[in-house]
């Protein structure tokens, strides 16, 4: 009952044209749904993943392309799906497959946010990798899914794109005064991309914990049901923010939550070192992301 009420409240203040856009937003790719169901299991069989991928040769090719990308730091070229599993492990491979299946949604230009084709996608991949590295750093269970909310945290930008584009001058004039982007969005549009992303994930029937992680990935202090998953999503996104590119998406000030650092038992100097390494990794796209 509480979750239904939360959803009702979050939709209440969203303007009708934006709600209409959410309702017409494509469903989650079927392959991604099946792969996520596998990841929810304690033991994932390689043959189950291969069966899903072989039904879509284009997806299988994209999985191999992504596995061979510098984002994942594989030491040698991956030739086959089985080879990828051997090098990456079953669960990591399945997560790459989920990422590849979502590329059609996230690989588009998002002009309202000054993002060219591929930029939102690459940012989403970077944040999901950073979130997993943080989870490893804090010795969280491999099955604790920080990957999904980190990958999908900016989905709302795809819906808000046309509305932000129409009001871009007004939003930029607000962010130029040091106001955070999501606050400026709410001031002008009556909602923001984090709230819209949460509504999309609700539409896709994601667990409330993941919905909350996306909803509050800029404002963890307001998350009344904060978990390690939502805190890590927030930190990973903060660490992956480009610096000084001039894009609308980059104009928000960096506000580090001391409450999140306390909950995760991360000291400020640790955060700064990890964030610095993350930025180097994103720039070089070659190193495996670890904080040991």
Give 122's pLDDT tier (boundaries 50, 70, 90).
confident
Q: How many CB atoms are located within 10 Å of the residue 130 CB? A: 28
Sign of torsion over alpha carbons 51, 53, 55, 57: negative
The pLDDT tens digits of the residues spanning 11-49 come to: 778 999 999 999 999 888 888 888 888 877 777 788 888
Provide the 8-state DSSP code for 27: P
Q: Which residues lie across from 110 on neighbouring strands?
A: 115
- Tell me which residue of 222, 275, 51, 234 sits closest to 149, measured CA to CA: 234
Q: Which two tokens stand for residue 116?
A: 């060219």
SS (H, E, C) 102-155: CHHHHCCCEHHHCECCCHHHHHHHHHHHHHHHHHHHCCCCCCCCCHHHHHHCCC
- Tell me which residue of 289, 197, 279 sits closest to 245, measured CA to CA: 279
Sign of torsion over alpha carbons 38, 287, 154, 146: positive
Residues 96-104 have a mean pLDDT of: 86
**For the chain, what are the domain ranges?**
2-26+109-284, 29-101
Q: How many residues does the chain have?
A: 292
Contact 197, 155 (CB under 8 A): yes
Q: d(Cα 22, Cα 160) in Å, to the nearest integer?
A: 9
The pLDDT tens digits of the residues spanning 227-256 come to: 999 999 999 999 998 753 434 454 445 678
pLDDT at 109 over 80: yes
Measure CA of the first residue to CA of the last residue in the chain; give whole Å.
43
pLDDT at 112 over 70: yes
pLDDT of 8: 44
Query: From 1.10.3210.10, 3.40.50.1820, 3.30.2310.20, 3.20.20.80, which CATH number describes the 2-26+109-284 domain?
Result: 1.10.3210.10
């Amino acid at each position: 009952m509480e979750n239904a009420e939360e959803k009702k409240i979050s939709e209440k203040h969203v303007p009708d044209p934006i709600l209409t856009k959410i309702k017409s937003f494509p469903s989650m790719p079927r392959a991604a749904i099946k792969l996520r169901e596998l990841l929810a299991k304690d033991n994932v069989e390689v043959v189950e993943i291969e069966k899903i991928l072989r039904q879509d040769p284009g997806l299988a090719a994209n999985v191999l392309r992504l596995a061979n990308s510098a984002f994942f730091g594989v030491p040698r070229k991956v030739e086959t799906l089985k080879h990828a599993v051997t090098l990456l492990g079953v669960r990591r491979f399945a997560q790459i497959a989920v990422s590849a299946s979502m590329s059609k949604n996230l690989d588009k230009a998002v002009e309202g946010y000054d993002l060219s084709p591929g930029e939102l996608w690459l940012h989403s991949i970077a944040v999901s990798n950073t979130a997993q590295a943080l989870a490893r750093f804090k010795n969280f269970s491999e099955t604790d899914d920080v990957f999904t909310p980190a990958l999908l945290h900016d989905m709302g930008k795809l819906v808000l794109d046309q509305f932000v584009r129409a009001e871009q001058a007004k939003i930029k004039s607000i962010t130029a005064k040091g106001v955070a982007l999501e606050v400026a969005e709410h001031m002008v549009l009556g909602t923001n991309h984090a709230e819209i992303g949460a509504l999309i994930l609700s539409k896709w029937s994601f667990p409330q914990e993941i919905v909350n992680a996306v909803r509050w990935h800029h404002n963890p202090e307001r998350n009344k049901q904060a978990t390690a998953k939502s805190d890590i999503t927030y930190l990973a996104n903060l660490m992956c923010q480009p610096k000084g590119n001039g894009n609308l998406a980059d104009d928000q000030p960096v506000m580090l939550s001391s409450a999140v650092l306390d909950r995760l038992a991360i000291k400020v100097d640790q955060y700064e070192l990890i964030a610095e390494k993350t930025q180097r990794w994103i720039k070089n796209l070659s190193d495996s992301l670890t904080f040991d």
